[in-house]
Amino acid sequence: MQKHIIRRELNIDPAQLPSSLPLVLRRVYAARGVDDALQLDNSVERLLSPDKLGGIARALDLLEQAVVGEQKILIVGDFDADGATSSALTLRALRSMGCDKVGYLVPNRFDYGYGLTPEIVAVAATQHPDLLITVDNGISSLAGVAAAQAQGIRVLVTDHHLPGQQLPTADAIVNPNLPGDPFPSKSLAGVGVAFYVMLALRARLRDKGWFAARGMDEPNLANLLDLVALGTVADVVPLDHNNRILVEQGLRRIRAGRCVPGITAMLQVGGRNPARTVASDLGFAVGPRLNAAGRLEDMSLGIECLLAEDTQTAQHIARQLDQLNRERRDIEADMKAQALSVLESLHLEEGSLPTGLCAFDPDWHQGVIGILAARLKEKFHRPVIAFARASEEEIKGSARSVPGVHIRDCLEAVSTRHPGLIKKFGGHAMAAGLSLAEHDYPVFQALFDAEVSRHLSADDLHGVVHSDGSLDASELKLELADQLRSAGPWGQNFPEPIFEGVFEVTHQRIVGERHLKLNLRAENNTQLDAIAFNQEDLSDLTGMHVHLAYRLDANEFRGMRNLQLVVEHLETV
């Protein structure tokens, strides 16, 4: 699909930002809506207060009763990186506050499904917990919450997913996305919600004299911000100012070597330098390895990596996660080839593809359909749901969307108009999951396409690369790349700067089997290196002029650091 490079509009005048910032950076911030220097202050003191969270008082009553009463607490997490970091953070925090009777249980997605299902409650009940805490799930677990309460188990739901029309009858719910919740940031990841609940619990126990009475040092929960940063980035939630603070503070601790051994180990097996970690390293090196456990086996392995207290154990588990991630990539590549082959066999031109695209193969692996949906979305720039068979009668789908389509609301609209068609669904604006009877798949295909078509026009179905403009040849230096690298954290809704320009290709070669290494000449004859990842099939461009959309980065090789352009989009001139 042909992409288009569109220059970002400046939402404010860059002159409103501090003159001490480089002009390029002022332009970048202005295009992202930063109109006040305070929005660039990522100190802990700028974090929102947990007191603003709705439901927090009742949640603290439950937690205080459980901790002080030495009751048994069981944490039930989701099977992705956000759920894993949420589980590890909550367990570490409760232990640091003197709670000895705390454990975790994470559902195997293939056996128990998503969230607090009645099946996972039955497993939890064998451990006789007094309180179940859901992290990064639970807001749609109506049957599971009811099943727990029927067995006399209290339930605290902490979640960030959008609620449905009906809420579970939990003993307490903390979710900034509940209707009317006063918490200013609606973009917290599940691990962010868990962190705020633990902050509030520490304050409650401090006020009650809990730590003093036990002769305990009050725990410094800022030490858990590495986990918050990882879960927030990996879950691809919007990086509003509050989330940028959480991520930046976690990154500082990782770079200083003050993080859990598991994160350091996963960075190292991913070929990243922990001392120079930025948000993208968490998103592309750590998150996928952590997610691989939940996608292919059991997220308990990922949680144990985050709970490891020594380097040797963490490295051993990280290597296992790395192997799972390699297997995941192989499975994904095969599934992607299958999906594209199916689409090609239909002889559909890009213009004739459905606006809302569904793909299903009974042999696909449930654990990687989310990644497959993301890859197809990137290729065809439209909402995609990839389905895999979950049982003899049921299929499960993982959905990914594009700007302009709130995918969870789309599923709710279909479900509302056709009751009983979708068995279960939940998610966010950009990602969601669902299940339905296999025989209903053709009907759902048509209804999903019709619903998406209500929100997108043909003009919306083009890939767009947003540019922050061009750079002078004199600005193409390692110094600016380093300034931009440290000017984030960059991520969802606060994207890393991308620039554009025309260059002459003087040489090209394939590296790492799939990546295209380019030698470029700028207008003033400046020689530059560039790399285009996963572009091994491009024809020979030597001697040609190309219009690039690129990021500035540093390439480290044998102790030397040099400027490198990372190509996001390439077209010949």
Start-to-end C-alpha separation, the chain: 17
- Report the 3 state secondary structure along 263-284: HHHHHHHCCCCHHHCCHHHHHH
Write the DSSP symbol of residue 236: T
Rg (CA), the chain: 24
For the stretch 251-267, pLDDT in tens is 999 999 999 999 999 99
Determine how β-strand 560-572 pairs with β-strand 527-532. parallel
Would you state the pLDDT for residue 343? 67
* Residue 145 and residue 169 in contact, taking contact as beta carbons nearer than 8 Å: yes
Question: CA angle, corner 137, sides to 496 and 266, nearest 5?
Answer: 50
Would you state the pLDDT for residue 277? 95
Task: Give Cβ neighbours of residue 43 (< 8 Å, ≥ 6 apart).
Answer: 245
**Quick check: 548 pLDDT over 90?**
yes
Determine how β-strand 545-557 pairs with β-strand 560-572. antiparallel
Q: Report residue 344 CA to chain centroid gap.
A: 30
* Residue 243 and residue 188 in contact, taking contact as beta carbons nearer than 8 Å: yes
User: Following CA atoms 107, 112, 117, 121 in sequence, which dihedral angle do they give, to the nearest 10 degrees?
Assistant: -70
For the stretch 474-513, pLDDT in tens is 899 999 999 999 999 999 899 999 999 999 999 999 887 7
Task: Give Cβ neighbours of residue 38 (< 8 Å, ≥ 6 apart).
Answer: 46
Confidence grade of residue 110 (pLDDT, cut at 50, 70, 90): low
Phi-psi group of 45: left, alpha or beta (phi > 0 → left; psi -120 to 50 → alpha; rest → beta):
alpha
Which domains, and CATH codes, for the chain?
3-32+465-572 (2.40.50.460), 45-321 (3.90.1640.30), 348-461 (3.10.310.30)
For the stretch 229-246, pLDDT in tens is 999 999 989 999 999 999
* Residue 546 and residue 570 in contact, taking contact as beta carbons nearer than 8 Å: yes
**Nearest-angstrom CA–CA distance, 340 and 354:** 14
What helix, strand, coil percent values describe the chain, rounded to 5? 45, 20, 35
Nearest to 395 by CA among 430, 357, 444: 444
Structure tokens at 442: 């053709």
Query: What b-and-e string marks burial along 362-396, b requiring 16 or more CB atoms within 10 Å of the CB?
Result: eebbbbbbbbbbbbbbebbbbbbbbbbbbeeeebb
Q: Measuring CA to CA, how many Å separate 40 from each of 30, 46, 491?
A: 12, 10, 15
Would you state the pLDDT for residue 345? 67
Q: H/E element holding 155?
A: strand 154-158
DSSP string of 351-370, one letter each residue: GGS-SSEEEE-TTS-GGGHH
Full strand arrangement of the beta sheet holding 131-135:
102-105, 73-77, 131-135, 154-158, 172-174
218 or 80, which is more confident?
A: 218
Exposed, middle or buried: residue 323 (CB in 10 Å: 0-12, 13-18, 19+)? middle
Specify the range with the lowest mean pLDDT, choosing from 38-52, 280-294, 300-314, 552-566: 552-566
296 or 566, which is more confident?
A: 566
**Quick check: 5 pLDDT over 70?**
yes
Q: At 209, phi and psi to the nearest 5?
A: 75, 20
> Please, which contacts does 408-416 make with residues 24 or more away whose CB atoms are closer than 8 Å?
408/162, 408/432, 410/356, 410/383, 410/448, 410/451, 410/452, 410/455, 412/164, 413/451, 414/444, 414/447, 414/448, 414/451
Mean pLDDT rounded to a whole number for the chain = 91
Determine how β-strand 545-557 pairs with β-strand 527-532. unpaired
Mean pLDDT in residue range 544-563: 90
DSSP string of 277-328, one letter each residue: --HHHIIIIIHHHHHHHHHHS-THHHHHHHH--SHHHHHHHHHHHHHHHHHH
**Nearest-angstrom CA–CA distance, 344 and 82:** 35
What residues form DSSP beta bridges with 529? 519, 564
**Nearest-angstrom CA–CA distance, 155 and 512:** 50
Would you state the pLDDT for residue 71? 97
Nearest to 55 by CA among 208, 199, 228, 171: 171
Mean pLDDT in residue range 413-421: 90
Structure tokens at 444: 């759902």
**Nearest-angstrom CA–CA distance, 80 and 290:** 7
Q: In this prediction, what percent of the chain has a pLDDT beyond 70?
A: 97
Task: Give Cβ neighbours of residue 504 (< 8 Å, ≥ 6 apart).
Answer: 520, 521, 543, 544, 545, 546
